[in-house]
Structure 1
Amino acid sequence: MSALDLLASAQPFAFDILERTASTPRVQAVVQQSLAPAFLLGAIGAIMNVIMSRMIWIAGRIERIEETDAEARAPRTARELAWLERRRRAAQRAISFATAAAVNISLVIGLVFISAYITAQIGSLIAFLWVLTMVLLVTGLVHFLHETRLAARGYGRDE
């Protein structure tokens, strides 16, 4: 099959897609349906910004401690380093889950648009991905809560 034949066979499909997407009210309805997931994506971004700010501070503090001579460090500094490592791991998990939620909600937005222009019914898939997004986000927030609780306790206390 030549490239010309391929283009000729794709022409009816292209016109069909163009015809389906030409309706302004239909496009407006799809945009309205995608607003809630889009706002959630913005909220996830704001949460990730807060977590990353904390993570940057933690990483900077770890670097400053590690620059000092290991033998000159006081036992208290070793406890602080262990505490900072626990906080960093919790923040990393929070970022990982929040990022997964952001990717997932982006898929939801894409599928909402696609679903308006295909005949296959994918509403159940979209609903499943929405619920999965919420599970990922809540899991990330639980890890963030753990990190903030570690920060509030300080490094001088055992868990």
Structure 2
Amino acid sequence: MQAVPHVSHVVQAIQLSVAPVFLLAGIGGLLNVCAARLARVVDRARVVEDRLTRAHGPEHDRLLHEIRTLDRRIGVCNASISLAVVSACLVCMVVTLLFANQLFSNRLDTPIALMFVGAMLSVGIAFALFIVETRLGSSVVRIRAEILSHQEEGQE
């Protein structure tokens, strides 16, 4: 029969789990930002989609390009959110296994390390996709030359 773990083992497990819990807070922040960006992109796509059905000529082509970019941004946002959630789940498993590791005489070191590496890879790729999404977003938001030239004429 296995003895009940000593309180010091539980305290040590809690101390070990503090860092991953802070990581969870950071991942939650990334999820919050990504979800907000996704909501804004979806709202913009609805507006552009409505305008696209009524546009003709160069304006139609511009809106078509924008809606395609918005569709790509939605996909990238969703992928980033998915990876961040996978990372958060892995971090939760790491915390759980840190406690179990104390109970089972340190036999779970390898799974803990592998899950932590997986969590870091997932969140790293999620951050990379986030920067891709922001670059896609800024590539569409260009002030058209005719607007800039019109503003310059008005200042002279």
Range into which the TM-score falls when normalised by the shorter chain: 0.7 to 0.9
Alignment match, 1:132: 118
Alignment match, 1:84: 70
Superposition pairs for residues 60-75 of structure 1, below 5 Å? Answer: 60-68=43-51, 70-72=53-55, 74-75=60-61
- Opposite residue 119 of structure 1, the aligned amino acid is S
Deviation at 1:64, TM superposition (A): 2.3
Deviation at 1:87, TM superposition (A): 1.0
- Opposite residue 66 of structure 2, the aligned amino acid is E
Residues 35-85 of structure 1: per-residue CA shift (max 9 Å, x gap): 111111110000111111100000111122234462536221111101111
CA RMSD of aligned residues (A): 2.0
CA contact (8 A) 2:98 2:112 kept: yes
Alignment match, 1:26: 9
Structure 2: stretches of 5+ with no match in the other structure: 143-156
Matched residues, number: 140
- Opposite residue 64 of structure 1, the aligned amino acid is V
Identical aligned residues as a percent: 27
Residues 7-58 of structure 1: per-residue CA shift (max 9 Å, x gap): xxxxx6xxx57x32xx332221111000111111110000111111100000
CA contact (8 A) 1:79 1:155 kept: no
Verify: 1:117 aligned to 2:100, yes or no.
no
Alignment match, 1:59: 42
Alignment match, 1:4: none
Q: How far, CA to CA, are the matches of 2:40 and 2:54 in structure 1?
A: 24
CA contact (8 A) 1:83 1:155 kept: no
- Opposite residue 152 of structure 1, the aligned amino acid is S
- Opposite residue 49 of structure 2, the aligned amino acid is E
- Opposite residue 24 of structure 2, the aligned amino acid is L
